[in-house]
């Protein structure tokens, strides 16, 4: 994996001249909104905070969620286990390697062709919820608390995502259960990202620009090294500075489609550090495999144009995974 190369010499497949070509906004000029989950639930403060959440989903497609109620011990435990796993000797990690043509396991993301440019990252991608959806052969048994911690963490994060979707439904003027009902038996998968340092950090990209295909993603930054950047409408990149223990939440493509474009699934990328490794964990939440993906009929009145096609979930996932991660081109293909 790329971790072993150290980055003194960058192989051609990792060279990405476009990375340094784009402007990055200076610190302090712009920042994604911070939403307080306790305030969202508070009888007197929820109105204001819900309105802020609604605006964040419309304008940024991104926010930081604080006071989310996932116990700090669990957050710290998850961080320690992820660091423990990526710190294992290569041959131990290889026991959980991806199989050809499959997503789950340890390896690289979305390698679909021999000449495709590569991201400067190793990943461990696992289906986590519901539990019957798991392939335990890809779940590391080292560190020995890895499995039990991911089990508890994934359930706690799913609970936060489900509750956010209820509040978002209300904010959209829908019955609270409308989006949640689509997600009965909804799927969660988790991707742990390890970005090794690279001496030529400006020539590589940790995670290519992409939008997430799911409904809602909750990212936890595992160590103090930053690197996530969000694209603005003027094509500049805004660095995200995660607060300790906060979730970085973003709207995914399916939520943009459900809301007929009211909520935005925004492109983001991860850059790497010259000296220090960076780790993060993303939890992706999708509707059940039986749900249809299309604009919610409750939202689209006669006067409003349907912006996206309606397809079944399986076709949607096939369409997505067969395409290499490539900016917003996937969502374009769902456009009517």
For residue 228, state whether it binds ligand OGA (rule: CB under 6 A).
Answer: yes
Nearer to ligand OGA, 269 or 313 (CB): 269
Q: Which two tokens stand for residue 97?
A: 């390697």
Binding-site member from 16, 93, 158, 268 for ligand OGA (CB under 6 A): 268
203-232 mask for Ni ion (x: CB under 5 A)?
A: ---------x--------------------
For residue 222, state whether it binds ligand OGA (rule: CB under 6 A).
Answer: no
Question: What is the footprint of Ni ion within residues 26-55 (CB under 5 A)?
Answer: none
Nearer to ligand OGA, 49 or 212 (CB): 212
For residue 193, state whether it binds ligand OGA (rule: CB under 6 A).
Answer: yes
Q: How far is the CB of 279 from ligand OGA (least distance, A)?
A: 8
Q: Which two tokens stand for residue 125?
A: 């991608």
Taking the alpha carbons at both ends of the chain, their separation in whole angstroms is 40
Binding-site member from 172, 222, 251, 270 for ligand OGA (CB under 6 A): 270
Q: Which two tokens stand for residue 57?
A: 């989903």
Strands 62-66 and 34-36: parallel
Q: How far is the CB of 231 from ligand OGA (least distance, A)?
A: 12
Question: Which residue stretches of 187-283 are H helix?
Answer: 253-258
Q: Answer positive or negative: Cα dihedral of 253, 257, 261, 263.
A: negative
**Cα(264)–Cα(252) distance, integer angstroms:** 8
Nearest alpha carbon to residue 139 among 73, 71, 189? 189
With CB under 5 A, what is the number of residues at the site for Ni ion? 1
Find which of Ni ion, ligand OGA, none residue 191 binds, CB within 5 to 8 Å per kind.
Answer: ligand OGA
**Cα(32)–Cα(284) distance, integer angstroms:** 19
For residue 267, state whether it binds Ni ion (rule: CB under 5 A).
Answer: no
**Cα(279)–Cα(85) distance, integer angstroms:** 11
Nearer to ligand OGA, 268 or 313 (CB): 268
φ, ψ dihedrals at 9, nearest 5°: -115, 125
- The residues of the shown chain that bind Ni ion, judged by CB under 5 A, are 212
- The residues of the shown chain that bind ligand OGA, judged by CB under 6 A, are 191, 193, 207, 212, 219, 228, 268, 270, 280, 282
């Amino acid at each position: 994996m790329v971790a072993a190369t150290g980055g003194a010499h960058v192989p051609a497949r990792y060279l990405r001249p476009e990375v340094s070509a784009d402007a990055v906004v200076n610190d302090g000029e712009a920042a994604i909104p911070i939403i307080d989950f306790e305030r969202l639930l508070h009888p007197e403060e929820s109105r204001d905070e819900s309105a802020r959440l609604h605006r964040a989903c419309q304008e940024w497609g991104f926010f930081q969620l604080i006071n989310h109620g996932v116990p700090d011990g669990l957050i710290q435990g998850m961080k320690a286990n992820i660091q423990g796993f990526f710190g294992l000797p290569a041959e131990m990690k290889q026991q959980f390697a991806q199989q050809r043509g499959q997503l789950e396991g340890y390896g690289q993301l979305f390698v679909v062709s021999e000449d495709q440019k590569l991201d400067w990252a190793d990943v461990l991608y696992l289906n986590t919820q519901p539990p019957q959806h798991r392939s335990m052969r890809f779940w590391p048994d080292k560190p020995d608390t890895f499995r039990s911690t991911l089990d508890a963490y994934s359930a706690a994060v799913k609970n936060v995502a489900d509750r956010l979707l209820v509040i978002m439904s209300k904010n959209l003027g829908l019955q609270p259960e409308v989006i949640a009902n689509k997600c009965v038996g909804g799927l969660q998968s988790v991707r742990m990202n390890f970005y090794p340092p690279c001496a030529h950090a400006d020539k590589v990209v940790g995670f290519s620009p992409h939008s997430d295909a799911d409904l809602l993603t909750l990212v936890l930054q595992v160590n103090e090294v930053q690197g996530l950047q969000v694209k603005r409408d003027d094509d500049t990149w805004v660095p995200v500075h995660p607060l300790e223990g906060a979730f970085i939440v973003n709207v995914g493509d399916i939520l943009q489609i459900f809301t007929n474009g009211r909520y935005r699934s925004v492109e983001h990328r991860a850059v790497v550090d010259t000296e220090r490794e960076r780790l993060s964990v993303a939890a992706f939440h999708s509707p059940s495999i039986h749900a249809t993906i299309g604009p919610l009929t409750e939202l689209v009145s006669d006067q409003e144009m349907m912006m996206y096609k309606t397809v079944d979930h399986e076709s949607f996932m096939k369409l997505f995974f067969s395409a290499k991660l490539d900016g917003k081109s996937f969502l374009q293909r769902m456009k009517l």
